[in-house]
Amino acid sequence: MPKISDARRDARRNQILEAAQRAFAAKGYQHTSMAEVIAEAELSTGAVYGYFDGKRDLFAAVAKQVLGRRNADLVAAAADGSPPAPAEVLEIVLDGTRSEGLDLRLLVQLWGEATVDPEMRDVVNAGVKVLGGAFRAALRRWFEVHPEHAPDGADVAAENLVPVLMGMGQGFIFQSAMLDGFDSRAYLDGARRILPH
Amino acid sequence: MPKISDARRDARRNQILEAAQRAFAAKGYQHTSMAEVIAEAELSTGAVYGYFDGKRDLFAAVAKQVLGRRNADLVAAAADGSPPAPAEVLEIVLDGTRSEGLDLRLLVQLWGEATVDPEMRDVVNAGVKVLGGAFRAALRRWFEVHPEHAPDGADVAAENLVPVLMGMGQGFIFQSAMLDGFDSRAYLDGARRILPH
DNA sequence: CCATAAAGAACGAGCGTTCGTTTTTATTGA
DNA sequence: TCAATAAAAACGAACGCTCGTTCTTTATGG
């Protein structure tokens, strides 16, 4: 089989994905041309189109990868040790983005695109659903250990908290990406103060 | 002398602004062509370009109008009656968007564009700043009446809460615009449960 | 050696904007 | 009161440019 080896193929694919992530984060999905992505990847048009169907497909792949990594963080952190408190759950996910050096503007751009593009919307919905499940599981474990905060049971308490807690995360992402002089410490302090602990 | 009357001019300007808001909300800023905005406004290219410098300027104007209205809601509600509780502050702003029939996807699109376009970023920053001021003022008044929730004084308590509370609002906007089967009631219930009351 | 990956020039659709022309409007002089 | 007029607003065809994609050619890994 005169084909490229799997290792080579994966490496190329990754090379393109990382270049696309950098380019999209810097200039925005809509404002980045395929030519720019291609230049950033140090490849040719034909090569890139051999790996992805087009610009849209490329952005979706970048988004899936990023969202997948966020979920992995949370699952890993929740698996070992004592259950994290609500505020800690938030911090685990947000710290993950920081340590990875993820440009949060990329996520906000994804949101914007997803309001209008059904394929992207599906990607976001799937990502939120998976991440929401991880949030719920982590919170349930914590409420089980802290029944004083869960008068109606850990399940109900977790269920009620998930949307708002994720909302606080989304608010963090938005403000961090957008606001001049955003103080992430102050934001998380404020969150810690109102969340059960 | 032979110029159009101010009333006429304002009406035309509004006609364009409203058409643009509808068009952008439906298809997204980037995916909406000027031709579509112009058709929606039932005017000609030249007419629209007589009122706005271009597509970007038009979107900025729409955004400013929308953000301005949100702020007006809050200021009005906070002015009369007893100070609203934190959760109520949130509801006032979010209810305003609903009663106006504002498509929240428009805001998420604005965010996305603002990550990449300095002019839009300024619009968003200014909007958040003004709205944040209104939040702060409303919260301070409530904490003054409920000192049991403000051990370090109403000013500090309000200051600490503003970013997270706005974050919860941004989370609401995102989820409402994006998630299939979003339950706004459940979201606000969850918020009410953790916010001081 | 040849199947296929990579290259990159070329294409054509779609876009925002411009500009020369036509229509409408408010004013003015009879 | 009402033409006449000049200023402007509105019109819409056309332009020039960008960009995503395709396709033919060349290089190369197995």
Among B52, B70, B89, the domain boundary falls at: B52
Number of domains in chain A: 2
pLDDT of A165: 98
**Do residues B12 and B27 share a domain?**
yes
Nearest-angstrom CA–CA distance, B30 and B8: 30
Owner of token pair 């991440």: A131
In the predicted model, what is the mean pLDDT of residues A120-125? 97
Q: Where are the beta strands (DSSP E) in B24-142?
A: none
Q: Residue A196 above 60 pLDDT?
A: yes
**Do residues A47 and A58 share a domain?**
no
pLDDT of A1: 39
Distance from CA(A37) to C1'(C2), angstroms, rounded: 31
Rg over CA atoms, chain B? 19
Q: For chain B, give the mean pLDDT.
A: 95
Strand D, nucleotides covered by protein (CB < 7 Å): 5-14, 18-24, 28-30
Half-sphere exposure of residue A125: CA atoms within 13 angstroms, side-chain side: 15
The residue with greater pLDDT, B7 or B86, is B86
Tell the burial category of B19 from Cβ atoms under 10 Å away from its Cβ (0-12, 13-18, 19+). Answer: buried
Burial call B137-168: b when 16+ CB within 10 Å, e when fewer: bbbbbbbeebeebbeeebeebbbbbbbbbbbb
**Do residues B105 and B126 share a domain?**
yes
pLDDT of B1: 44
**Do residues B65 and B157 share a domain?**
yes
pLDDT of B5: 76
Instruction: Evaluate whether A157 touches A139 at the Cβ level (below 8 Å).
Output: yes
H-run or E-run covering A53: none
pLDDT of B185: 97
Among B52, B72, B93, the domain boundary falls at: B52
- Counts for chain A of helices (H) and strands (E), in that order: 9, 0
Say which of B30, B169, B183 has its CB closest to residue A30: B30
pLDDT of A121: 97
pLDDT in tens, A50-63: 999 999 999 999 99
Domain coverage including residue B70 = 57-194
pLDDT of B113: 97
Q: Residue A16 above 50 pLDDT?
A: yes
**Do residues A23 and A61 share a domain?**
no
Determine contact: A128 vs chain B, CB below 8 A. yes
Number of Cβ within 10 Å of residue B71's Cβ equals 18
* CATH number, domain with residue B77: 1.10.357.10
In the predicted model, what is the mean pLDDT of residues B128-137? 96
Q: Residue A3 above 80 pLDDT?
A: no
pLDDT in tens, B36-92: 999 999 999 999 999 999 999 999 999 999 999 999 988 888 887 889 999 999 999
**Do residues A102 and A45 share a domain?**
no
Distance from CA(A14) to C1'(D4), angstroms, rounded: 74
pLDDT bracket for residue A4 (50, 70, 90): confident
**Do residues A139 and A190 share a domain?**
yes
Q: Residue A2 above 80 pLDDT?
A: no
pLDDT of B2: 55
pLDDT in tens, A142-194: 999 999 999 999 999 999 999 999 999 999 999 999 999 999 999 999 999 99
Among B31, B52, B73, the domain boundary falls at: B52
C-alpha pair distances (Å), B124 with each of A67, A83, B54, B116, B151:
25, 37, 19, 12, 33
pLDDT of B4: 78
8 Å CB contact of A111 and B115: no
Q: Residue B149 above 90 pLDDT?
A: yes
- Give the contacts of B75 (CB within 8 A, at least 6 positions apart): B134
Say which of A111, A125, A196 has its CB closest to residue B111: A111
Q: Residue A40 above 90 pLDDT?
A: yes
Nucleotide whose C1' lies closest to the alpha carbon of residue B50: D9
pLDDT of B78: 82
**Do residues A35 and A105 share a domain?**
no
8 Å CB contact of B171 and A175: no
**Do residues A94 and A7 share a domain?**
no
- Give the contacts of A196 (CB within 8 A, at least 6 positions apart): A85, A86, A146, A149, B194
pLDDT in tens, A97-109: 999 999 999 999 9
8 Å CB contact of A115 and B178: yes
Tokens representing B95 are 């209810």
pLDDT in tens, B88-118: 999 999 999 999 999 999 999 999 999 999 9
A118 Cα to chain B: minimum distance (Å): 10
DSSP A87: H
Q: What percent of chain B has pLDDT over 70?
A: 98
Please, which residues 150-179 of chain B have a Cβ atom closer than 8 Å to chain A?
160-164, 166-172, 174-175, 177-179
**Do residues B103 and B28 share a domain?**
no
* CATH number, domain with residue A15: 1.10.10.60
Q: For chain A, give the mean pLDDT.
A: 95
**Do residues A36 and A82 share a domain?**
no
Owner of token pair 């031709």: B35
Number of Cβ within 10 Å of residue A98's Cβ equals 12
**Do residues B188 and B137 share a domain?**
yes
Nearest-angstrom CA–CA distance, A17 and B62: 35
